[in-house]
Structure formats: structure tokens, C-alpha cells
Amino acid sequence: MLFSDEEAVPGVEGPLVAVTFQRNPHQKQKYLESQPKALGVTQIALSAFYISSVIVILTNGLSEVVLDPPQIIGSVFVIIAGCLAIAAQNLHLPTLKACLGMQVVACVASVFNLIVSVARMEAPSYVCWRYGEGNLTDYYKTCVLFNNSATHYFAELILIQTAIIAISVTLAAYCCKVVNCCSPGRRMPVITVQVPTAQQ
């Protein structure tokens, strides 16, 4: 699109003022505003902790074996997404597109892990049996203490998954700004003023 002055100025070829719209050459720098290195390292660390927690739960027989391998696989996807977030700091467009795709996958995997964690907290696979109203044994008291601490442990896993979801959504949003997957790229106006040459 070109707008120009109607008046012709002697000694000047073309319009006196021209306005053009060009792509922002610094659009890729928007990704660096999200602090991808810090968020990627946080994603990796939280996922590694989550994997170790699921392994502890699995080895102690506190959950159903069917749900644990998908949780571990989902957390591995989150670790890969964190690595890609760090690698995308070089602002190479294919790496940014891969980062966007993996952040979406990581978000879906984290939502699945969050649902499983909430279900695990609401329906534990163990119950404390009470043998009598007046006679509370040490085993029962220990079981109740264990039950309470396990509930806190599962609540921690829910908090971790919520943080991972927030990080994945943030990184995906910043990748989307750079890749322009949701809207066409912004164009910024460039105003060119032609100064007439001095007449001799």
C-alpha cells in the first residue's frame, strides 16, 4: 500500500512522502521475552521429579500398574519439550515450530497426568481397618499417619502438573507469536520522506 503527496516538487522524482507496510524484522525476538531457558529447565526438573515420584508410587504398590507407564511416557514428552524450548533460543524457525508442537503435546500429556493424579488422591488403593471403637492399635495410628502423608504427596503431584501446564501454555503462546500460526504476521508502517535537492 502506498500513499503519496499530490504535489510535484521540482528536482524530486517520485512522491515526497511514501508510507509502506513491512514485516517486523525483530518479530522472532518476542520468543526471548518468555525466558525460555528458565522455563525449559523448570519443565525438565519438574518432569524428572514427577517421574521419580511415579516410580516410587509404583514400586511401593500404591497405584494401579496400568496408569503408571503412560504417566512416565507423558513426562518424557514434557522433558523433550523443555529441551526444545531451550534449543529454540537460537530463533531458528523450524526449531520454533517444533517447540510449538511439542509444547502442545506436553500440555496434553500434563493434563492427562493431572487427571490421573487427582483420581489417585481421591481414591487411594489402601484402607485403614479399625478393629474396635475403644482399642486403637499402633498399626491403625501408623496407617492413618501414612494415609495423611500420602494425601499430601499426591497433592504435591497435582501442584507440579498444574505448574507444568502453565509453563507449556506460556511457551506455546510465545512460540505462536513468532511462528504466526494463529494470525497473519503484523506489518509495521515505514514512512519514507524524500528531501528535495537544493537548487543551484
Residue 174 domain boundaries: 25-184
Helix (H, G, I), strand (E, B) or coil at 55: helix
DSSP H/E element including 189: strand 187-193
Q: What is the pLDDT of residues 51-91, one digit of tens each?
A: 998 888 888 776 666 777 888 999 999 999 999 999 988 88
Confirm whether 64 is domain-assigned: yes
Calculate the alpha carbon distances from 170 to 39, 109, 132, 198 in Å: 9, 15, 53, 55
Confirm whether 191 is domain-assigned: no
Calculate the alpha carbon distances from 151 to 1, 119, 147 in Å: 63, 11, 6
Other Cβ atoms less than 10 A from the Cβ of 144: the count is: 13
DSSP H/E element including 191: strand 187-193
Confirm whether 14 is domain-assigned: no
C-alpha to C-alpha distance for 99 and 12, rounded to whole angstroms:
50
State the total domains in the chain: 1
Q: What is the pLDDT of residues 96-119, one digit of tens each?
A: 899 999 999 999 999 999 998 888
Confirm whether 159 is domain-assigned: yes
End-to-end alpha carbon distance in the chain: 35
C-alpha to C-alpha distance for 42 and 50, rounded to whole angstroms:
12
C-alpha to C-alpha distance for 177 and 45, rounded to whole angstroms:
26
pTM summary value: 0.71
Confirm whether 150 is domain-assigned: yes
Confirm whether 199 is domain-assigned: no
Q: What is the pLDDT of residues 127-159, one digit of tens each?
A: 676 666 655 677 777 887 887 888 888 889 999
